Amino acid sequence: MATAPTSFDIQQVLFQLGIKPVNLGTSTGIERFSTGELFDSYSPVNGQLIAKVYATTAADYEQVMEAATEAFTFFRTVPAPKRGEMVRLFGDKLRKNKEALGKLVSYEMGKSLQEGYGEVQEMIDICDFAVGLSRQLHGLTMHSERPSHRMYEQYHPLGVVGIISAFNFPVAVWAWNTALAWICGDVCVWKPSEKTPLCGVACQNIIREVIQENDLPEGISCLINGDYKVGEMMSQDSRIPLLSATGSTRMGKSVAQTVAARLGKTLLELGGNNAIIVTPEADLKMTIIGAVFGAVGTAGQRCTSTRRLIVHESMYDKVKHALIDAYKQLRIGNPLDENNHVGPIIDKDSVAQYLQTLDAVVAEGGKLLIPGGVLSGEGYESGCYVQPAIAEVENAYAIVQKETFAPILYLIKYNGDLPNAIALQNGVVQGLSSAIMTNNLREAELFLSTLGSDCGIANVNIGTSGAEIGGAFGGEKETGGGRESGSDAWKVYMRRQTNTINYSSSLPLAQGIKFDLN
């Protein structure tokens, strides 16, 4: 049974985040900033309508883009450390609103309260990272082959950066993009998921306070809402030189084709089919903790969730029985109750996909060790709570090759040497995150070598999820190839320019070419 904490008051949380209810008949809505149709935001926690939100129309979108492009003409001239100061102030506002925003994330999306707070902390962390980076946007200098010439590279802002984010990280992924884009001198237009629109409104309210208090143009940060049709406006708009899109591979391919047709740039963070390899020299306790959290954290709705556990035959039975015992200890219920491990999945459409996947596993010959199913009864009235499932499968099954955004863990046996396991791990079209559990240095180094994991993220003795903001985040193959957050990911938000300065009194040409005029 799952019981809701009595101290939680969604109206109080919305009020603290500046989301003001207005009378819309029998339901609750937010202040109207659009002429579009209303769409609903339901909580998967209890199935209740939280609010109605106005979708962005084509006319609304045009106003937003005009404000953004105008703001860019000013913002690009502001020194980067000054732009960093704006981001620092935003981070301070997030600290003050961490509890309220974390609760809204948990309630609107369904992830555990600890994960909701953790997501806001990621926003704070990327702000701190961006503030320091604002004084380190560096270029390169190089020697010219021509005498009395100097060559160097520098970076300039791109312009309006479009951001399309997914429901599973309704605030952090936006912050990953926008904090870096801002210190680079770009302005941002954000379309959050239509499944979590209130999280977007809350974030916009927080940054709007910073913008107003510092007399900055409002177009520096813009919010639009709606379904895929609003995203299509962004994809087709040549005023957006870079579009960062997070979501399914299907969505990403559509965005990439449309943006490429106008020779724009994309930053894509798409599907994951992440695996942990468990070798004979793995620490069993660490393996179980990493695998279970990776598989059931956020109810299996992370792009970095552990989908496959590839286990050596000598360890297979031990791992299988330990996993089953661990799953029996999971507490499934209201994510705002910090005693629970697993909350709901986002909506009933996702529940249907979860059930279809379990049926497909059996149809292909797999065995359900923990059969899963939809939970019912007190506390589960939303119909979005499911039992995390474990299935014995073959890596080649068609259903295993697909990403299902739900808590389903595939158990796969391998024999022989580590290269056999690596081949299984790499044998999917996605390439986001991967891990190996081993105390053998040679195995760890092989996994990280050019002969090892083909993913953008490769870990040793930790799971596939839980990336830190200091490292570049992203993956290869059908994951899209984009990189966000740390390292040198800032470069994608800028255009590179090569400069040559001739400080002599003559004009020598490169490669020794002679061109003389009388």
Q: How many residues does the chain have?
A: 518
pTM, 2 dp? 0.95
CA angle 190, 195, 196 (to 5 degrees): 60
The whole-number pLDDT of residue 32 equals 52
Q: Which residues face 460 on adjacent strands? A: 436
**Domain at 274-468, CATH from 3.40.630.10, 3.40.50.11540, 3.40.309.10, 3.30.465.10:** 3.40.309.10
Query: What pLDDT does residue 22 have?
Result: 58
Cα gap 151→140, rounded to integer Å: 9
DSSP 479: T
How far, in Å, CA of 351 to CA of 416, rounded?
Answer: 37
> DSSP string of 17-73?
TT---EEETTEEE-----SS-EEEEE-TTT--EEEEEEPPPHHHHHHHHHHHHHHHH
Separation CA 390–CA 393 (nearest Å): 10
- CB distance 449 to 347 below 8 Å: no
264, 293, 336 from 464: Cα distances, Å = 31, 9, 24
- Neighbour-count burial for 23-48, b at 16+ CB within 10 Å, e otherwise: eeeeebbbeebbebeeeebbbbbbee
Q: In this predicted structure, what is the pLDDT of residue 517?
A: 81
186: left (phi over 0), alpha (psi -120 to 50) or beta: beta
Task: Report DSSP state, residue 508.
Answer: P
Structure tokens at 27: 């339901």
Q: For the chain, 518 residues long, give each residue's pLDDT as a single digit of tens.
A: 334 444 578 999 999 999 976 544 444 455 556 778 999 999 999 999 999 999 999 999 999 999 999 999 999 999 999 999 999 999 999 999 999 999 999 999 999 999 999 999 999 999 999 999 999 999 999 999 999 999 999 999 999 999 999 999 999 999 999 999 999 999 999 999 999 999 999 999 999 999 999 999 999 999 999 999 999 999 999 999 999 999 999 999 999 999 999 999 999 999 999 999 999 999 999 999 999 999 999 999 999 999 999 999 999 999 999 999 999 999 999 999 999 999 999 999 999 999 999 999 999 999 999 999 999 999 999 999 999 999 999 999 999 999 999 999 999 999 999 999 999 999 999 999 999 999 999 999 999 999 999 999 999 999 999 889 999 999 999 999 999 999 999 999 999 999 999 999 999 888 888 888 87
Joined tokens for residue 310: 């590839």
Strand partners, 268: 245
Residues carrying CATH 3.40.605.10, the chain: 25-270+483-496
**H or E stretch covering 390:** strand 389-392
Q: Which residues, 6+ apart, have CB-to-CB distance to 445 below 8 Å? A: none
**Residue that the structure tokens 């059931």 belong to:** 296
The residues, ordered by sequence, that sit 6+ positions from 323 with a Cβ below 8 Å of its Cβ are: 288, 291, 292, 309, 369, 390, 409, 411
Cβ(335)–Cβ(113) below 8 Å: yes
State the architecture of 25-270+483-496 in CATH terms: 3-Layer(aba) Sandwich (3.40)
- The predicted structure's pLDDT at residue 13: 94
Which residue spans of the chain are classified as CATH 3.40.309.10?
274-468
- The residues that are catalytic are 269, 303
Helix (H) or strand (E) holding 397: none
Give yes or no for a contact between 435 and 464, defined as CB atoms under 8 angstroms apart. yes
Residue among 439, 466, 436 nearest 449 (CA): 436
Q: Where are the beta strands (DSSP E) in 407-483?
A: 408-414, 430-431, 433-437, 457-460, 472-473, 476-477
- Whole-angstrom distance, CA of residue 178 vs CA of residue 425: 33
What residues form DSSP beta bridges with 27?
Answer: 24
Two tokens, residue 488: 């040198």
Location of structure tokens 């083909």: 454
CB atoms within 10 A of CB 193: 23
